Amino acid sequence: MIEINNLTVIYPDGTKAVDNISFTAGGGESIALVGANGAGKTSLLLSLVGVIPIHSGTVTADGTALNKKTLNEIRRKIGMVFQNPDDQLFMPMIVDDVAFGPRNYGCSEAEVKERVDATLQALGITHLRDKSSLKLSGGEKRMAAVATVLAMDPSAVIFDEPTAFLDPKARRHLIGVLNGLPHSKLIATHDLTFAQEVCSRVIVIKNGRIFADGEPKEILHDVKLMEEGGLEAINAHLHYHVHENGGPGHYHMHDY
Ligand SMILES: Nc1ncnc2c1ncn2[C@@H]1O[C@H](COP(=O)(O)OP(=O)(O)O)[C@@H](O)[C@H]1O
Ligand SMILES: [Mg+2]
């Protein structure tokens, strides 16, 4: 459970990137944070795990308030998958990256091994175990980065643009993985059809504030609302149906 109350983030140059945002994410809920470039999504996520400081307001994870003293504790509860996997993978082999967090938090070597094995298995990437991240595809890097976070056994996971750098197949794999995770999730994304498939709630951020908050089917198809939020609605008036007796690639397009 993450509780965000009147959160404001201001950069040293005076830019107010997050402006008095409040909401709660919990109970395995999956929330998409959408909004135009520069809306404040990344700043919001980074402030939740203390990568950038909070100017005012509070962040609480499972009852623990974020401050200098609780930073390590918060980072065990809230795992963050960064936009660029290269920021998360820095060891010679993937197995070392995934082991890094649990080892750092004092798990026994037996437990570290157990967690690494279980996480790689759950994500279907045991074959990447001894590889260097330098040799991986975008999709493989993304999964490895997700593994480093899940190995910490967080209660909530936050993702910044997780479909960036992914081809359609890797994107599809990620959707399956995320829909199988029991964690509370907060996902900043430009990919609105992805948000629709993975999230049960959408929050539109505009100029650092919450502009709209509701169900994906209501928000993401609302042409006017999405336009005002600097986005393009999922095309609500076009419906594609696979031809009953047609193979892949045979579509009817209904315009109404
Ligand atoms: N390090 C920084 N210093 C100053 N301003 C920043 C910095 N990083 C981001 N910003 C500004 O903060 C605002 C929000 O940016 P960001 O959180 O990256 O938005 P988003 O992830 O929604 O694209 C933008 O105006 C951006 O220019
Ligand atoms: Mg961003």
What would the pLDDT profile of 224-239 be if each residue is shown by its tens digit?
999 999 999 997 555 4
Residue 37 CA: which ligand is closest? Answer: 1
8 A C-beta contact, residue 242 and residue 250: yes
Of 9, 11, 190, which is best to mutate to test ligand 1, by the most ligand atoms within 8 angstroms of its C-beta? Answer: 11
Q: Please report the DSSP string for 86-144 in residue order.
A: GGT--SSSHHHHHHHHHHHTT--HHHHHHHHHHHHHHTT-GGGTT--GGG--HHHHHHH
In angstroms, rounded to a whole number, what is the distance separating the alpha carbons of residues 228 and 49?
Answer: 29
Residues in CB range of 126: below 8 A, 6 or more apart: 117, 120
The pLDDT, as a whole number, for residue 27 is: 87
Per the model's pLDDT, the better-predicted residue between 252 and 11 turns out to be 11
Residues in CB range of 90: below 8 A, 6 or more apart: 97, 133
Please report the domains of the chain, with CATH numbers, ordered by start residue: 2-255 (3.40.50.300)
8 A C-beta contact, residue 74 and residue 50: yes
Asked whether the predicted pLDDT for residue 250 surpasses 80, the reply is: no
Q: Give nearest CA residue, ligand 1 atom 7.
A: 11
Q: Does the Cβ of 15 fall within 6 Å of ligand 1? A: yes
The pLDDT, as a whole number, for residue 246 is: 44
Indicate the SS3 state at residue 55: coil
Closest alpha carbon to 235 in 193, 194, 202: 193
Q: How far is the CA of 247 from the centre of ligand 2 (A)?
A: 39
The pLDDT, as a whole number, for residue 26 is: 85
48: part of which helix (H) or strand (E)? helix 41-48
